[in-house]
Chains A and B, each alone.
Chain A
Amino acid sequence: MAVLDAPRIVSARTEYEDSHTLARFLATGGNDALRKALTMHPEAVAAEVDAASLLGRGGAGFPAGRKWSMLRRSAISYLVVNGDESEPATFKDHFLVERDPHQLVEGVTIAAYALQVSQVFIFLRGEFALGLERVQQAVNDAYETGALGNKIFGSNFSLDVVVHPGAGAYICGEETSLIEALEGKRGFPRIKPPFFPAVTGLYGEPTVVNNVETMSNLPWIVLHGGAAFAALGQGRSTGTRLFALAGQVNRPGVYEIEMAKNTFRDLIFDPALGGGLAPGRSVKAIIPGGVSAPWFSPDQLDVPLGQDEVAEQGSMLGSGSVVVLDDSSCVVRAAWRITKFFSRESCGQCTPCREGSGWIERAMYRLEHGGGREEDLDLLLDLCDNIAPGLTWPPQQTTICVLGPSIPSSVNSAISMFRDDFLAHVRHGGCPHD
């Protein structure tokens, strides 16, 4: 049975039709947390976030508090908010920026205060035209009401927030690539080390990059305390999380549930959540955590939706996306489309990714559309092994960023789980589903 009694930390206001307006924000406790934070010592605010053990909600799941403490040792800094949500089948940041932009701005202001930063850039996907309008409106409203700008609410803290549009590039979700884009360049990920923008970030200065959902959690954490947040969830997976459920389920959507207390089965089948599959259909595969993640089989439906629980099973919770493929779907076609995505979005800097993604895509294409050979399966696995040697999880790195090593996940999963489906494609000379 699904556990649904946890408070809704980031999506409570979205119950209202007008959740994006200033009036609704102010009528539902808006800025209470910011006012409270401004009476606290900045380091006390950061300490609450540390106590909450808030894991970054972008995909990597790095503890937000640790990101901040690494920065606080160095001098000047920028806070950059990553709203470039582009991982396929992930749509929870889209939900937050359109439905509760003021909460985001409040969270960002709290974070900037904790970090004592006076310049924030909110980087939003260029495709979020409405999201850009609403977040800019929320920023304008904040200036108007004294929640941003010079001496916020009469405190000694001043802050400027700039809303910055992206222009369509998956790779810009990678934080060093996002910084390059923010500097007005092509979105090429930067060579590591340094691994963290907290060392060398925007304009070469120490920079913290945090995800939209991470920021949206901060007002609740400040109001209720880090301990209350950490009391939710289990183990390292504290608090609640937005899960973006997509694919072949009855009720796809964004659901906020307590971390690690519910399983994939709960999310997919509970009537209050995914509501199950179409009549007569069963789960064939699940893609947890975005298309960069290895797939799960129906045997893994009872794995809890927690950071470590999913990692122990050889995949990742990643971006909080969950895609369901039912038994009518063609896994070869799905895996081919995912490799086509990576091939299109590879930035081209590193040979294994640039050449490998295209080669894999062409082999997958002919398996799905005709002309595939049985040897292609070994070829595909060999190509995957060249990009991420050993095909381990987490993958070995041969490239500047993690896009390359993400390519093998779906191909490797599909071949190892559904080899017979691939062979059927070879025999049929194309997709037997067509």
Chain B
Amino acid sequence: MSHFRVELRQRAEELVALYPRKRSAMLPLLHLVQEQDGYLSAAGIAEVAELTGTSAADVRGTAAFYDMFHLEPVGKYVVGICTNVACLLAGGQELLEHASETLGCAVGATSDDHLFTLEETECLADCDRAPCVQVNHRYVRTTTAPAFDAMVADLREGRLDADVPAHGTLIRVRRSGGLRVSREELAAERASARAERELREAKG
């Protein structure tokens, strides 16, 4: 029985098929687990192990390396505030402390109502609108305390659902099209191109 919902299981299998080796789909598949479960559930990890031909321990060990993967449940909205140097100069640290009060949770923790998890992030590459704030990895661009509070109120009321989808950085990414040539044909095409080049080089 698949832990993934039918649609996600299909997307997962399509992802695996994109790569010459199954294990390469590891990070995208883990993003899919978070899209469904919000974090890396044990059942999700087991399924990624099955899909990539690895073990659950291997998957967990790999996932633990990466900041975006949550090994514990998180809130509906993961709020990330950058305090790296450009944001520090723009008051990122103060905004983080303010956010902790507004959301009612410590940095790195989840609010009692499981709505928010607050994270102090490293640079999010949006430094001309510092300090940078992301919610579920969407830039919300609220650089002041009042703007942040208004944004949080909007989140609570569901007014930002269109801008801030649920977990999973691939939740709105769908691949269409692709190379309709088998790997064997492609390898043959590549080999003949290479032979041609080598012939030319031998001549030249």
Interchain CB contact under 8 A, B24 and A184: yes
Q: Which of A337-345, A382-390, A394-402 contacts B (4 or more CB under 8 A)?
A: A337-345
Contacting pair B137 A127 (CB below 8 A): yes
In the complex, identify which listed stretch (A138-146, A220-228, A233-241, A259-267) lies at the interface while the others stay far away.
A138-146
Contact of B65 among A142, A187, A291 (CB under 8 A): A187
How many A residues have CB within 8 A of the partner chain? 74
Q: Is there contact, CB below 8 Å, between A187 and B125?
A: no
Using CB atoms, name the residue of chain A closest to B129. A252
Of all chain B residues, the one with the shortest Cβ separation from A149 is B179
Instruction: Find the B residue at minimum CB distance from A92.
Output: B125
How far, in angstroms, from A337 to B121 measured CA to CA in the complex? 12
Binds B, one of A4-12, A26-34, A83-91, A419-427: A83-91
Give Cα distance in the complex from A166 to B125, angstroms: 14
**Across the interface, which residues of A come within 8 angstroms of B30, CB to CB?**
167
CB distance from A96 to the nearest CB of B (A): 11
Q: Do B170 and A165 have beta carbons less than 8 Å apart?
A: yes
**Interface: A287 (CB within 8 A):** yes
A116 contacts B194, C-beta separation under 8 Å: yes
- Identify which of B21, B31, B88 contacts A183 (C-beta below 8 A): B21
* Residues of chain B having any CB pair with chain A under 8 Å: 18-21, 23-28, 30-31, 52, 54, 61-63, 65-69, 83-86, 88-89, 122-128, 130, 134, 136-139, 169-181, 186, 189-190, 193-194, 197
Contacts of B63 in A (CB 8 A): 167
* A165 touching B169 in the complex, CB below 8 Å, given contacts A88-B85, A90-B123: yes
Could you give 29 example pairs across A and B, Cβ below 8 Å?
A72-B197, A86-B125, A87-B123, A88-B122, A89-B123, A127-B124, A127-B125, A127-B169, A129-B169, A132-B170, A136-B173, A140-B175, A159-B179, A165-B173, A167-B31, A168-B66, A170-B122, A184-B23, A185-B23, A186-B65, A246-B127, A252-B86, A325-B89, A337-B88, A338-B84, A341-B84, A341-B85, A345-B122, A347-B65
Cβ of A93 within 8 Å of any chain B Cβ, yes or no, is yes
Known contacts A116-B193, A132-B173; 14 additional CB pairs below 8 A are: A118-B186, A119-B20, A127-B124, A129-B138, A130-B139, A132-B170, A163-B175, A166-B66, A168-B67, A168-B68, A184-B23, A244-B127, A252-B128, A338-B85
Within the complex, the shortest CB–CB distance from A249 to chain B, in Å, comes to: 10
In the complex, how many angstroms separate the beta carbon of B23 from the nearest chain A beta carbon? Answer: 4
Q: Which of A72, A118, A329 has the most CB of B within 10 A?
A: A118
Query: With A167-B27, A341-B122 in contact, do A334 and B88 touch (Cβ < 8 Å)?
Result: yes
> Closest chain B residue to A94 by CB distance?
B125
Nearest chain A residue, comparing its CB with the CB of B69: A167
**A164 close to B194 (CB less than 8 A):** no
Report A-chain residues with C-beta under 8 Å of the C-beta of B28.
164-165
The residues of B that contact A118 with a CB separation of less than 8 Å are 179, 186, 189-190
Report if A91-B126 is in contact (Cβ < 8 Å); known contacts: A158-B179, A246-B86.
yes
Cβ–Cβ contact A158 & B84, under 8 A: no
Q: Check A149/B170 contact, CB under 8 A, given A125-B125, A184-B52, A248-B89.
A: no
- Judge whether B27 and A181 touch: CB under 8 Å: yes
Query: CB distance A166 to B173 under 8 Å?
Result: no
Which residue, of A91, A130, A142, A344, has the highest number of chain B Cβ atoms within 10 A? A91
CA distance A341 to B84 in the complex (A): 7
- Within the complex, the shortest CB–CB distance from A148 to chain B, in Å, comes to 7
In the complex, chain A residues whose CB is within 8 Å of the CB of B190: 76, 116, 118
Q: Is A358 an interface residue (CB 8 A)?
A: no
B25 proximity list for chain A (CB < 8 A): 184
CB <8 Å contact, B83 and A337: yes
Residue of A nearest to B136 (CB): A129
Q: Is the CB of B169 within 8 A of A164?
A: no
Contact B24 A183, beta carbon cutoff 8 Å: yes
Residues in B with CB closer than 8 Å to A164 are: 24, 27-28
Q: Does A311 contact B (CB under 8 A)?
A: no
Instruction: For the complex formed, measure the closest distance between the CB of A395 and the CB atoms of chain B, giving whole angstroms.
Output: 20
**Inside 8 A of A127's CB, which chain B residues have their CB?**
68, 124-125, 134, 137, 169
Does A23 touch B at the CB level, under 8 Å? no
Contact of B175 among A139, A169, A187 (CB under 8 A): A139
Question: Which of B128, B176, B189 is the one whose CB lies under 8 Å from A253?
Answer: B128
> Using Cβ atoms and an 8 Å threshold, which residues of chain A touch B26?
184-185
Tell me if B66 and A169 are in contact (CB < 8 A): yes
User: Who on chain B is nearest to A171 by CB?
Assistant: B65
Contact partners of B134 in chain A: CB under 8 A: 127
Would you call A1 an interface residue if the criterion is a C-beta within 8 Å of the partner chain's C-beta atoms? Answer: no
Report chain A residues within 8 Å CB of B124: 127
Residues in B whose Cβ lies below 8 Å from that of A203: 20-21
The complex places the Cα of A329 from the Cα of B89 at a distance, in Å, of 7
Q: How far is the CA of A140 from the CA of B174 in the complex (A)?
A: 9
Chain A residues, Cβ within 8 Å of B88: 333-334, 337
Residues of A within 8 A of B83 (CB): 337
Q: Is A140 touching B177 in the complex (CB atoms < 8 A)?
A: yes
In the complex, the answer to whether B86 meets A323 with C-beta atoms within 8 Å is yes
Is A376 an interface residue when CB atoms closer than 8 A count as contact? no
A350: Cβ under 8 A from any B Cβ: no
Q: How far is the CA of A244 from the CA of B171 in the complex (A)?
A: 29
**Contact of A308 with B by CB under 8 A:** no
CA distance A160 to B180 in the complex (A): 9
Task: Return chain A residues, CB-CB under 8 Å to B194.
Answer: 75-76, 116
Contact B23 A186 (CB under 8 A): no
> Scoring A residues 337 to 367 as 1 if CB is less than 8 Å from chain B, else 0, what string do you get?
1100100110100000000000000000000
| Whole-angstrom CA separation of A34 from B119 in the bound complex | 43
- Shortest C-beta distance, A117 to chain B (Å), equals 8
Asked if A150 is an interface residue, CB under 8 A from chain B, the answer is: yes
CB <8 Å contact, A144 and B177: yes
- For window 263-279 of A, CB contacts with B under 8 Å fall at none
In the complex, chain B residues whose CB is within 8 Å of the CB of A130: 138-139
